[in-house]
Chain A
Amino acid sequence: MSESPAPPVKQAQRPHPLTPLAKGWISLVAIVVVFGQDGVRQLSRHPDLRSVGIVAGLIGILLVLSLGRGFFTWRTTRFVIDDDELRIEHRFIHHTSDRIQFSKIQGVDVVQPFAARLMGLAALHVDVGAGAAKRIEFLSRSQSYALRDYLIARAHGDRISVDASASLPQADAWHDRAATDEVIVAARPGNLVLSSIASTGFLVATAWALTALVIGAWRGSPVAGLGAAFPAGATMVSIVSHQTIRHWHFTLTRTRKGLRVAHGVTTLTSASVPIDRIQGVIITQSPLWRPFGIYKVAMDVLGRSFASEHDEESAGGGVLVPAGSWDDVRAALAAIWPGADPDRLSWTPVDRRGRWLHPLGFGLQRWHVDATFAATRRGVFAPSITVIPHARVQSVAIRQGPLRRRLGLATVELHSSPGVVAWRRHYLTEPVARRLALSELDRGRLARRQEGELARVRSMPPPPLPAPAERWWPAPASLTDQ
């Protein structure tokens, strides 16, 4: 903790004094990654002392520059987290002062890049629901966790003080888990490795590498074959390491304040899952995962790019189960939506007239609607199940192109916030599509109202509200008669 000169009113804090070093290390890694391959190739072509010196000098200059920048950024960054406010001030070249209302905090992530973790530092990323997360880089790890717990408690409306939250149980460098927390899903390393090995990209790369080696050996130039196989080998390694490094130690835990996801080996990310902002989930299975019974569950969280800098493939989405068994999937769904069970969905087939448009695996095209969820399922090679709660549906659309019109079929879409989840059901007959779409509006309205009443009941216990008197949405079964 740095002793900054106290302003007359507030005790403004500086980030940890080791911050410039951690940031300098991160930019050094970035430099090496960007220029490394090229530089090594150049050096191996002209392996003299002078070019080595030039490269080392360049890297040194860049390092000094980034260290200097890191130092001045650190010098000019202040933050206030106390019982009244959260304020972050940068006064380096651009002066900014962000004051964030506690009630507007959507989530607080503790991110520990490799270098920072070695020094026992961690960054706080405060998610405000829109725009980039507000960052405080870097704090000591224990302070990060304490402040995270404090901010999340305040975001939930608890009026506790900073000092009181500091006494909560703490986590260590590898796990972010207190003794009271209940682990719902923990990714097994074997599953992670297996899921990346049994992915299409990995197999394509393997085939490429083997072909190159075989052709090289056959033509009598194994070295050339090795050269051609090298990029494919690098791809294989990167696919496996990407998946395993990122999701190493992946745990989904239930804490006193909701769900939390923690994962990563070099960068440990620990993020709270705002359950009421989950817009939908998608359960997927890569073709080769089927023999192993591995599934992946991704979700969309409103206004949130989940650890986006490490997670380009699912911008706006988060991973709930990176590679797990069906039981993991069920546990994860039950954790975010009590009562949700993918085994208890009653699947309705679509109209047979559509099979001409979808010859393969047509029988797997199914859908389900109950009072709480709408689900759709498809795919023979890469099966997927999409689930959206009615309360999260933003709008509804019916679509029909010329081909489907000829067959008397239509598509219904349920729109949710942008991300990986897109609820779409093709090949419904026109009457079913019309009824499904129009009644969805009423189901959504009812679900939202019940949710609102539930929240109100929770916030002020007595008196109990009467149950809704009548149901004016059609019973789910009536949607399916064709």
Chain B
Amino acid sequence: MSEFPGGPGPATAVPDAADPDPLTPLFAPPTASWIPLSPRYRELKHRLVLLAWGLWMVLAAAAAQFLTGRWWATALVVVVFAAWIGYRYQRVDRVYRVWGYAERDTDLYVRSGLLFRRLVAVPYGRMQVVEVESGPIERHFGLASVKLVTASASTDARIPGLDAAAAATLRDRLTDKGETQVAGL
């Protein structure tokens, strides 16, 4: 196992210009910068927001029209939904910017969560399994998720929306590192 010449990493991290959303030093990257998810993941999320909430909007508008029969009620529903969809749409961008992961010599770091922020660090030696998952929608966008499983159920270290090839190489890299740094439970 490699040594740590620099000690326990940048404890008080410098806010980094390359980080699109520096947040606070608390969630600063332990390396130079966070590696972002694939831009296609943002696109997928955008489309899902439009599709899912658009469907609800159509249903709600139809219900309003059918139940009240007044055009302004329908228009009100449409406006409210449009505002909500606009909010959800721009929120996708902000959530996307928070997502990021970083690899160091011995640990993997994943940052997530816009309102409830979370930074999880998993030592490679602790990884039991590295799973690559890809559902039909993700596959359509050429995306895959990488999930790190440790002996703890609370670890919950998942990196969604990676490029499928990048996910596979990340998995292989993590597995290799995990094998060389394996630690007993």
Binding site for B on A (CB under 8 A): 276-277, 302-303, 392, 394-402, 405, 410, 413, 415-418, 422, 430-431, 433-435, 437-439, 441-442, 444-445, 448-449, 451-452, 472-474
Interface SS of B by simple majority: loop
CA–CA, A277 and B9, complex, Å = 29
Please choose the segment from B32-40, B120-128, B139-147, B168-176 that sits at the chain A interface, where 4 or more of its residues have CB less than 8 A away.
B120-128
Q: Are B117's CB and A431's CB within 8 A?
A: no
Decide if B134 is an interface residue (CB 8 Å cutoff).
no
**Segment 118-169 of B: residues with Cβ below 8 Å from A:** 118-123, 125-126, 150-155, 157
The smallest beta-carbon distance between A317 and chain B, in angstroms, is: 14
B150 close to A394 (CB less than 8 A): yes
**Quick one: which of A400, A435, A448 contacts B184, CB cutoff 8 A?**
A448
Cross-chain contact A413 with B123 (CB below 8 angstroms):
no
Chain B residues, CB < 8 A from A396: 120-121
Q: Identify 7 new A-B residue pairs, CB closer than 8 A, beyond the known A392-B185, A394-B126, A435-B12.
A: A397-B121, A397-B155, A399-B116, A405-B24, A444-B123, A445-B123, A452-B183
What 0/1 readout, one digit per residue, does chain B (64-86) give for beta carbons within 8 Å of chain A?
Answer: 00000000000000000000000
- Contact (Cβ within 8 A) A452 B184: yes
- Which residues of the other chain, B, contact A434 by a CB distance below 8 angstroms? 11-13, 25-26
Sorted nearest first, the 3 A-B pairs with minimum C-beta distance are: A394-B152, A415-B152, A394-B150
Q: Is B17 an interface residue (CB 8 A)?
A: no
B151 touches A430 (CB 8 A): no
Tell me whether B87 is interfacial, beta carbon within 8 Å.
no
**What are 8 A-B interface contacts by the 8 Å CB criterion?**
A394-B122, A394-B155, A400-B27, A415-B152, A416-B152, A431-B11, A433-B26, A441-B123
**B106, B118, B152: the one within 8 Å of A399 (CB):** B118
Determine if B19 is an interface residue (Cβ-Cβ < 8 Å): no
B residues apposed to A, CB below 8 Å: 1, 4, 7-9, 11-13, 24-27, 30, 106-107, 115-123, 125-126, 150-155, 157, 183-185
Please determine whether A441 and B152 come into contact, CB atoms closer than 8 angstroms.
Answer: no
B123 pairs with A277, CB closer than 8 A: no
**Known contacts A394-B150, A430-B25; is A472 also within 8 Å of B13 by CB?**
no
**A398 contacts B155, CB within 8 Å?**
no
**Chain B residues with Cβ under 8 A from A395's Cβ?**
120-123, 126, 150, 152, 154-155, 157
Q: How far does the Cβ of A409 sit from chain B's closest Cβ, in whole Å?
A: 10
The answer to whether A400 and B8 touch across the interface, beta carbons within 8 angstroms, is: no
Partner of A472, one of B8, B119, B153, B185: B8
* Chain B residue at minimum C-beta to C-beta distance from A430: B26
Inside 8 A of B150's CB, which chain A residues have their CB? 394-395, 415
Pick the contact of B115 from A277, A398, A401, A474 — CB < 8 Å? A401
Contact: A400 with B116, CB < 8 Å? yes
Which has the most chain A C-beta neighbours within 10 Å: B7, B26, B153, B183? Answer: B26
Complex: A277 Cα to B118 Cα, angstroms: 28
Cβ distance B91 to chain A, nearest Cβ, rounded Å = 14
Q: Please name the residue on chain A nearest to B30 by beta carbon.
A: A438
User: Which of these, B7, B152, B183, B185, contacts A277 with CB under 8 Å?
Assistant: B185
Contact call B121/A438, Cβ cutoff below 8 A: yes
Closest residue to A408 on the B side, CB-wise? B24
